[in-house]
Structure 1
Amino acid sequence: MKNRFWKCASVVLAAALAVPAPSWALGYTQTKYPIVLVHGLLGFDNIGPVEYFYGIPSSLRSGGATVYTTSVSAANSTEVRGEQLLFQVKQIIAATRLEKVNLIGHSHGGPTSRYVASVRPDLIASVSSVAGVNKGSKVADIALGLVPGVTSTLANAVASLLSFLSGSGGLPQNGRAALTSLSTAGTAAFNARHPAGLPTTACGEGAYVVNGVHYFSWSGGKSWTNALDALDPIFLLTGAAIGEKNDGLVASCKSHLGRTIRDDYGMNHADEVNQLIGIVNLFETSPVTVFRQQANRLQALGL
C-alpha cells in the first residue's frame, strides 16, 4: 500500500512539473539575458509618468526579468537609430557583465533591432518584432508623396518636442530619413542588406534562428479597438488606406519576422505597447500579458 502511494505521488508530481507555469508565477519572465525595449517612430522612453511601453517594464520585472528601455532618435533612418541602439546595447552588456541581450522592438524599433542583430549578432540572443515595419508601410509611402517637405518638417518638429520632453533632446532628428526608411522602397533596400529572419513568401514565416539569433514577431489586425482612445480615429483613417488587414499603420502580413506568434490580435498600432495609457481593447488579451508570454518563451529557450 505504501509503495502504491509513493508511486501515485510521483506520477502527480511529474504531471505538475510538466504543466507550464501560470503567468503570475514567480520567475515567469526571468530570462537569462536582459530584455531591451526599443521604441518606434516618434517614440520615447518615458515622458513623466507615461511610458512608451506603458506598464510593460514593471510587469516584466515583477516576474524576474531584467529590463532596459532604450532611447533612440524619435525620427531618423534605421541605420542611424541602429547605431544609437548598438551603443546602448554595449553599455548594458558592460553593466550586467552578460554577453548578450534580448531585443524587443515596436514599429520602427523592429528594423532598428534587426540592424543591430545583423551587424553584431554576437551581442544579441533574440529579436522580437512587435508590428515591425519589416516590409514597408503604405502610410509612409503616402506621407512621402504629400506636399514636399511638409510631412518631414512636421515629423522633425514632433520628434524634437518628444525628445525634449523625455530628456533625450540631444539626439538628431530627420523626419524625411525616417519616412524613407519606413517606405516600401526604403525597407526593400534595407532588407537587401539585412535579410535575417525575413519571410521568403508573401505572408509566411522567416528563419527562426540566423547566426545564433532567434527571431520572433507578433502584431495586431484592427485599427479601431476602443471608443475612449483618442488615437483610434487616426488609425481608422490611416488603416483604411492600406487596403489589407492591418493595425492602422502596418499591414499584418508585412510585419512577419522569424517565428510569427500571431498577426491578428485585436489591437491597433498603439495598443500593441499598451497605449494610450492602457486604454486598449477590453475583449482581447492584454498587451502586457503578450510581452510576459514572450519573456517566458525566451526563458524556455534558455535566452
Structure 2
Amino acid sequence: MNRPLFGAMALAALIGAAAPVAAADTYAATKYPIVLAHGLLGWDTAAGIDYWYGIPGDLQSHGAKVYTTKVSAVNSSEVRGEQLLQQVDTILAITGASKVNLVGHSQGNQSTRYVAAVAPGKVASVTSVSGTTGGSPVADLIAGAAPAGTFTNAVVNAVVSGLGSIIDLLSGSGGLPSDGNAVLTSLTTQGAANFNKNFPAGVPPTRCGQGASMVNGVRYYSWSGTSQITSGIDPSDSALSLTALAFKGTPNDGLVGQCDSYLGAVIRGDYALNHLDTINQFFGVAGFTDPVALYRQHANRLKLAGL
C-alpha cells in the first residue's frame, strides 16, 4: 500500500508536541517518546480543543516526551496506519529516538497495531485505550441498516465522510482522504476479525482473555471502561447510554464492549469511564475516576519496564 504523499514540512505540521512544560519530576519519563493516536472522528487540536484533554501536558510535567498525531478522521485502519507510520518516522527523526511508545484510543488501536506490525523495530510498545480490537456492535447496526449499494449507504457514506473532512479542516490538516464506508468496514465485528487475521499481535486467543504481552519485541497493553453515565453533567453521557443499547446488556463503554477492547496485557477493563472519558472529554468532566492519572501511571509502568 502506498503511503500518503506528504511533504516533510507538511507532515511535520500534522505532528504536535505538547507545549513545553517544566517537569516537576521524572515519574513519567519514559525511555522512548510517547505518541498519541486518535480514534474515529478524531483530531489533535481542532478549533482550540485538544482531543487528549489535559493529558499531554500532565505527562510532560512528569518528565515524558509526548507527541500527538493527526491521521484521517474517517478512513480505514490500514490507510490511517500508513499515515501514522509516516508521522512516527518524522518523530524519530526529530527526537533522535530509535523507538516510540504508541498509545491508541478507539480506532487508534488498529492504527497503532498496524505500525507495530509493519515496522516493529520502530515501536517499543502499543497501548490500546478503549480500543476496537473486536470491533463494535454499534458499527454492526449502522452497517446492517445501510448495506453496501443502497441509497441509505450512499447517504451515510456522504455524511460521515463529509464530517471527517470538516474535522480534518478544523485541525489544520485538510486534504487528508476521507472514506465513511472504509471506516465502517474496519469497525464492524467482521471487519475487526479480518484485521486481526492480518495483524494478530496481542489479540487474545479466546474471548475475554488476555493476549500475548510481547510480540516481535513490542510490548502490548490495554485498558478500558464499562460505564456510560459517569458525571451526570457531561452531554456525551446521554448519547453513549443510547448507543450502549446495541450491546444488549453486556459490559461496554457506550461504543466498545469490555471484552472487545482487550489487547495484550489487560491492565483493567472495567474503569468507571465511558468511551470519551478515557481521553478526558468532555473538557475534563469524567466523574470519580481521573483518566489523566491513568495515563501518568501507565507512563511510569512503561518507564519501569525500560520503555
Q: CA deviation at 1:150?
A: 2.5
Aligned AA for 1:295?
A
Inter-partner Cα distance in structure 1 for 2:189 and 2:295: 28
Check conservation: 1:238, 1:248, Cα contact below 8 A: yes
Residue equivalent to 2:166: 161
Deviation of the 1:25 alpha carbon: 6.6
Aligned to 2:301: 297
Q: Which residue of 2 is the match for residue 173 of structure 1?
A: 178
1:43-100 residue CA offsets vs partner (Å, 9 max, x unmatched): 0001133110100000000001000000000010010000000000000001111110
Output the CA distance in 2 between the equivalents of 1:296 and 1:109.
Answer: 21
Q: Distance in 2 between matches of 1:82 and 1:302?
A: 25
Equivalent in the alignment of 2:122 = 123
Cα separation, 1, equivalents of 2:185 and 2:45 = 26
Identical-residue share of aligned pairs (%): 53
Query: In structure 2, what is the equivalent of residue 250 of structure 1?
Result: 256
Offset, 1:149: 2.3
Residue 154 (structure 1) shift: 1.6
What is aligned with 2:109? 110
Instruction: For residue 214 of structure 1, report the CA deviation from its aligned partner.
Output: 0.2
CA distance in 2, matches of 1:152, 1:58: 36
Rounded Cα–Cα distance in structure 2 between residues aligned with 1:90 and 1:275: 29
Aligned amino acid, residue 261 of structure 1: I
Q: Give the residue type in structure 2 aligned to 1:246.
A: N
C-alpha RMSD of the superposition: 1.1
Instruction: State the Cα deviation string for residues 261-289 of structure 1 (Å, max 9, x = none).
Output: 111001100000000111111x22x0000
Q: Tell me the equivalent position of 1:15.
A: none
Q: Which residue of 1 aligns with 2:220?
A: 215
For structure 1, the 5+ residue unaligned runs are 1-23
TM-score by length of 1: 0.90
Mapped partners of 2:298, 2:76: distance in 1: 27
Task: Give the structure-2-normalised TM-score.
Answer: 0.89
DSSP-derived class of the 2:210 partner = coil
Distance verdict in 2 for CA 1:226–1:151, change over 3 Å: farther
> 1:238 is matched by which residue type in structure 2?
T
Q: Which runs of 5+ in 2 are unaligned?
A: 1-22, 146-151
SS in 2 for 1:148: helix
Equivalent residue for 1:287, pick from 285, 288, 291: 291
Structure-1 residue corresponding to 2:143: 144
Structure 2 residue 276 is matched with structure 1 residue 270: yes
Aligned to 2:83: 84
Q: Which residue of 2 aligns with 1:204?
A: 209
Question: How far off its partner does 1:183 sit?
Answer: 0.6
More displaced 10-residue stretch of structure 1: 234-243 or 37-46:
234-243
Larger radius of gyration: 1
Aligned residue identity for 1:101: V
Residue identity opposite 2:83 in structure 1: Q
Moved over 3 A (4+): none
For residue 50 of structure 1, what is the aligned residue in structure 2? Answer: 49
1:195 aligns with 2:194: no
Quote the residue 1:34 is aligned against: 33
- 2:24–2:61 Cα contact (<8 Å) kept: no
Aligned length: 278
